[in-house]
Structure 1
């Protein structure tokens, strides 16, 4: 009888509460399980490291000319061969990573800043503000992006700086429309209504609540846009409207080498491979981020 009484007096077992996991931590766990995304990240990090340590990796200067060794095939002395001026292509490809990544990152950052600002204003305030900004986006998207970039560079003048500006401008509508659609959804949430009810100013609502809850799609789109920006910079360089000689920009290297395609194909192969691998890396990483950050992509 006493034993049964003691059993009844034992405290009830309280089930353990599930540990709350941060959405960003959960996204990281999902991302690192994606093997293709990790491969893409490794490729991107590889080119970033090459760009940072280019002076220590490159065996010679980017403009060191050796006319006696012009158009030599790849060898132990010149891993990627030499161009028509006898310059080491391996060194120029390594330094070209600096230019291409620099253009890609800066152009996309400019697009994100301007596009997000316009998209937030259009989505949050609506009415005539939304109408004007949305029509501007529609007009810009009506033109093929590369043609619009060529037109901008033609007006500003051929240079790497103007090519960067043109690439940033043509990508603004993509980020603007993306953030606008996100803001239209977020501003209907209860916490936004509560913030308005307590008298919080619009600027504080936008930058403290709306923008942070709209960053996931921007991160994904930004990663994919860097790959597009690198291709667009290479295209402008190939057309002679981007980097000017003797800058070792990959697109410009392809343009300079097109006359020697049959005689010295390595002058085009290695800059082309650098563009392909860099773009592949950013695309794989962007796809992995989309799968990790977008709830609709999860099982």
Structure 2
């Protein structure tokens, strides 16, 4: 009996994930963004282990030490020290865990809750669905940062309350996107045919809807991650998020704003890190969007 072997292109066509990666890897900016994203992710995991100094240790003899490339700088302190003598480089490394790491946690939490509520909204019908959708549309009219500030004002400042506030602020857009994605799938002919074969709601959701909306879920998560990173930094800068002596990037900028003319590095470097973190997420999101579009066209 003759055996047929698939060509490489045919094998890729049978694997949606591999085909998505093939299209994604063709965009050099997206690959660069992915590498940068991996670096920030590893820093969020390993920053306490690789920090050369204690980020909270104060040293009265090294106040406002300039960066190492300055004549008065020291090699042991690459970015110098702050007004309390704390190593700025170590604080920025640990800050990746607070700003970028907590942003990932908030997005995952909002995604899980959004998937539950979005599925309930998308699969339900009648008055219950109508009321839920109107309340959701009302929540979407409020910007996520403003909604997070309102929630923090109720819960109180602090990094833990900031996590819950941003998670709840991101929740409406996840519920809205998942609800629309499920509603689209329910109107497809193959879903109707599957129901006619006797499939219940759980079978339709697990075997038809979820495999067809995972790409959209990934895109929503990447876009929400950049929003969460900016919101955490903004709340820390305003004094509503991370509190002293936390090494969160936005809080570092807020604490060093009065020293911008004396020690500009303490403001410029954390601002640059926030920019690069958001840029990496946006590049990955754009690359995934283009790759998913190309995959569907092919």
Q: Is the contact between residue 78 and residue 90 of structure 1 (CA under 8 Å) also seen in structure 2? A: yes
Indicate the SS of the match to 1:19.
helix
Task: Give structure 1 stretches of 5+ with no counterpart.
Answer: 1-13
Residue 45 of structure 2 corresponds to residue 46 of structure 1:
no
Find the aligned partners of 1:223 and 1:58 in 2 and give their Cα distance: 28
Q: CA deviation at 1:118?
A: 2.1
| Cα-to-partner distance string for 1:94-152 (whole Å, 9 max, x where unaligned) | 01111122211111112111222222222222322321221121111222221111110
Q: Structure 1 stretches (4+) deviating beyond 4 angstroms?
A: 295-299
Q: Is the contact between residue 291 and residue 297 of structure 1 (CA under 8 Å) also seen in structure 2? A: no
Find the aligned partners of 1:130 and 1:62 in 2 and give their Cα distance: 50
Q: Is the contact between residue 20 and residue 295 of structure 2 (CA under 8 Å) also seen in structure 1? A: no
Find the aligned partners of 1:238 and 1:89 in 2 and give their Cα distance: 17
Q: Tell me the residue number matched to 2:85.
A: 86
Find the aligned partners of 2:294 and 2:187 in 1 and give their Cα distance: 19
Q: Tell me the residue number matched to 2:120.
A: 121
Q: CA deviation at 1:298?
A: 5.5
Aligned counterparts, 1:3-152, within 5 A: 19=10, 21=13, 22-75=15-68, 76-152=75-151
Find the aligned partners of 2:21 and 2:36 in 1 and give their Cα distance: 18
Find the aligned partners of 2:49 and 2:127 in 1 and give their Cα distance: 55
Indicate the SS of the match to 2:10.
coil
Task: Give structure 2 stretches of 5+ with no counterpart.
Answer: 69-74
Q: Is the contact between residue 149 and residue 163 of structure 1 (CA under 8 Å) also seen in structure 2? A: yes
Find the aligned partners of 1:54 and 1:206 in 2 and give their Cα distance: 40
Q: CA deviation at 1:210?
A: 1.2
Find the aligned partners of 2:171 and 2:151 in 1 and give their Cα distance: 14
Find the aligned partners of 2:174 and 2:255 in 1 and give their Cα distance: 34
Find the aligned partners of 2:46 and 2:104 in 1 and give their Cα distance: 18
Q: Is the contact between residue 121 and residue 129 of structure 1 (CA under 8 Å) also seen in structure 2? A: no
Q: Is the contact between residue 119 and residue 180 of structure 1 (CA under 8 Å) also seen in structure 2? A: yes
**Looking at CA atoms only, which structure, 1 or 2, has the larger radius of gyration?**
1
TM-score, with length taken from structure 2: 0.90
Q: Is the contact between residue 243 and residue 251 of structure 2 (CA under 8 Å) also seen in structure 1? A: yes
Bigger drift between 92-101 and 172-181 goes to: 172-181
Aligned counterparts, 1:165-184, within 5 A: 165-184=164-183
Q: Tell me the residue number matched to 1:286.
A: 285
| Pair 1:95–1:250, CA change in 2 (3 A) | same
What is the number of residues matched between the two proteins?
285
Bigger drift between 121-130 and 17-26 goes to: 17-26
RMSD over equivalenced CA pairs, Å: 2.0
Indicate the SS of the match to 1:224.
helix
